[in-house]
Every structure is written in C-alpha cells, then in structure tokens.
Amino acid sequence: MTANHAIRLEGTRFWVTHRRRTYGPFDYEWSPDFCGVELQYEGQKFGEYCSQSEVFADLKPFHLPMSVVQVSSIVIGCVVYGVLNGMNDGERCHLIQCRLSEHGFERFWSDEAAA
C-alpha cells in the first residue's frame, strides 16, 4: 500500500509521494565542465548549482503540487550539500530528516525512506 506522504531515496535519486501520488525521480548530474551541478526532474534539467551564491531552480513547468516543490527543494539541497561536503548516506539522511522537520514536513520522512 502506498503511503499518503513519503520520500524514497536511492543513492542520490529520490521520489516524493504526496497524497499517494509519486513524483520523480529527482537527481543531480555534474555539469559537463564539472564547475557546477545540474538539478534534474525526470531526467530534465530544472536548475543548477554553481556556488553558494549562485543557485537557480524552476520547477514551475512541471506543474507539481507546492508541497512536492517544497519537499523536493529541501531534499535536493541536502543531497547536493552532502555530496559537496563528503557526507556519507547516513549523514545525508539525518540532514534531510532534520531539515524536513524544521520546515514542517516531517510527515514525509520515515525510517524506510533510505531503505
């Protein structure tokens, strides 16, 4: 049975379930020059991280529910931060869980998220 709200992580890829509908995968890919990170939804670029002061993201063309946009933004931010700072999977999962909770989205997290 599908949960009402959930996140499922598979390495750096993840899916967000909202009201029993699953969106994704969300992921990242290094830019061709390795100077930045391209943010992707269903294999399509929706944003780019160049530095802490240079981040662009726009999920509007995908017509996602606002909760999915908010949760996926938190998770992709934590994934990119974790990768750039050498965090292991456990540390990234803890960071994601904390940030979701800080922003009122703890209902999306479960211990099975990274299973």
Q: For residues 46-58, give the mean pLDDT.
A: 89
For the cut 80, the answer to whether the pLDDT of residue 115 exceeds it is no
H helices of 33-107, in order, are: 66-84, 89-102
User: Rounded distance, CA 8 to CA 34, Å?
Assistant: 27
Domain ranges of the chain: 5-35+56-108
| Rounded Cα gap, residues 41 and 14, in angstroms | 10
pLDDT (0 to 100) of residue 2? 63
Q: Which amino acid is at 72?
A: S
Q: Which residues pair with 21 in a beta bridge?
A: 18
Instruction: List Cβ neighbours of 76 (8 Å cut-off, separation of 6 or more).
Output: 14, 26, 28, 39, 57
Q: Does residue 100 have a pLDDT over 90?
A: yes
| Residue 73 confidence (pLDDT) above 90 | yes
Side-chain half-sphere of 4: how many Cα atoms within 13 Å?
3
34, pLDDT greater than 80? no
- pTM, two decimal places: 0.90
Q: Identify the pLDDT of residue 114.
A: 66
The pairing of beta strand 5-10 with beta strand 44-51:
unpaired
